[in-house]
Amino acid sequence: MRTKSVSFPFSVADTSAGPVIQWENGQLTVGFSDYREVPCRVVFDEVSHFEWLVEDELDSRVFAYDGIVEVIDSPLIARLVEIGEMTSETRGQFRHLVIGFNEVSAYLVVVCRAFKVAGQ
């Protein structure tokens, strides 16, 4: 499985509060305070899948334990096409992101069309 690093303008490592996850109308909002106690927020649009996994459910050698990666040629996106969650024509418009929140020993996995960040 190939991945590439993704950067937010703030760190997801050693969060001081959160993350708090809100799901509404296909939009996922994740809020937390960074290690300096600065509020941060990420809004994922057109989310077709998300899940919260504990640290031993993913390989920290592949997925950054305190950062963000995007899965290239995602088998999860392929599976979502297979079950009809998205079409093969639109699959290239979606991103499979894995965010490692090491402070809470968990990963947030999100498949979305786009995201925007606020904070710092």
Residue 69 backbone dihedrals phi, psi, to 5 degrees = -130, 155
Residue 114: predicted pLDDT: 96
pLDDT at 57: 87
| Angstrom distance (rounded) from CA 94 to CA 14 | 28
pLDDT for 66: 87
Give the rounded distance of the alpha carbon of 44 from its chain centre: 8
Which pair of tokens denotes residue 61? 């050698």
The pLDDT of residue 41? 96
Please list the ranges in the chain whose pLDDT falls under 70.
119-120
Please tell me the predicted confidence (pLDDT) of residue 119: 60
